[in-house]
Structure 1
Amino acid sequence: MTDAVISTASEEEVRSGALGRRLREFNYGFVGEYPEMQPVRLNAKDAQGRLMGGLRGFVFLEWLRIDVLFVEEEARGTGLGRRLLAEAEARGKALGAGNAALETFEWQARGFYLKQGYEEFARIDNYARGNYLAYMKKKL
């Protein structure tokens, strides 16, 4: 079909989820039916209710994917990041994940993730102004 017109998807088209359903149906022919993405969303607050850190991720196809892990500077070094990551991994396992994956820039937390048992398996050099982006994974 060479006469297809490409345009911006409308909000209604995006909300309908039709494109994702079509892809899932195609994928089922290769890996069998699987559940939709399961979110993992954690917040860490101090005694006054102030957000000190959090994690956002999801489980999909037996992988926990960490999108965001952030800890306020004043709480770094207290174990909060380790606790957030451990809780996400436990929830991921409960949702059927056997592995975890994430990306981190070289100025972020590569050393922290290495200490938590993650290994770097790929890197894109000069991803952001001369800095690399590391791809990391861990067996849960």
Structure 2
Amino acid sequence: MENITITAATPEELRSGELGRKLRHYNYGFAGEYPEQQYIRLTARDENGRLLGGLRSFVFLYWLSIEVLFVEADVRGSGLGSRLLDEAERQAIELGAKNAKLETFEWQAPAFYQKHGYKEYARIDDYAPGFYLVSMKKLLAR
């Protein structure tokens, strides 16, 4: 173990997916075989092409993981965020997801997600100075 070097992954190594495949095959011994990670990427634009919001997420091990949900300030309250979330959950269920999870700061949208059935299961106080980060999850409808 003396002659091991650690370097930044090359673009080719990233494209190959070899490291992820190795981990997935290791996991199969514990969790059984499961589908590869599937992405759900949604974008909302108005009739002029203006980006109003979007959602970035993926399904892995039957969980929808929401990474980003953003709606421009001037269209918040219009239902766009709900539409994006509902569509992501619908697609995730089609991909086999049984649950959903996300993280959000207290100044962002905990109340929005609670309105959509998400429940807090963990909190890190002072994650950003003076603000907590909350982890939330939801059982998806079947």
The equivalences for 1:1-140 within 5 A come to: 1=1, 3-140=3-140
AA matched with 1:84: L
Structure 2 gap ranges (5+): none
Identify the range of structure 1 (100-109 vs 126-135) with the bigger mean alpha-carbon deviation. 126-135
AA matched with 1:120: E
Give the Cα separation in 2 of the matches to 1:84 and 1:106.
Answer: 20
Report the Cα offset of residue 3 of structure 1: 4.5
AA matched with 1:134: V
Report the Cα offset of residue 2 of structure 1: 5.3
Q: With the length of structure 1 as denominator, give the TM-score of the two structures.
A: 0.95
Secondary structure in 1 aligned to 2:77?
coil
Q: Percent identity?
A: 64
Secondary structure in 1 aligned to 2:113?
helix
AA matched with 1:18: E
* 1:79-123 C-alpha deviation (Å, 9 max, x unpaired): 110111011101110110011000001110011101111001001
Change (3 A) 1:2 1:125: farther
Secondary structure in 1 aligned to 2:91?
helix
Q: What do you get for the CA RMSD once the two structures are aligned?
A: 1.1
Structure 1 gap ranges (5+): none
Q: List, as ranges, runs of 4+ consecutive aligned residues in structure 1 with deviation greater than 3 Å.
A: none
Give the Cα separation in 1 of the matches to 2:38 and 2:72.
Answer: 26
Q: With the length of structure 2 as denominator, give the TM-score of the two structures.
A: 0.94
Give the Cα separation in 2 of the matches to 1:15 and 1:2.
Answer: 28
Secondary structure in 1 aligned to 2:4?
coil
Give the Cα separation in 2 of the matches to 1:21 and 1:86.
Answer: 30
Give the Cα separation in 2 of the matches to 1:98 and 1:110.
Answer: 21
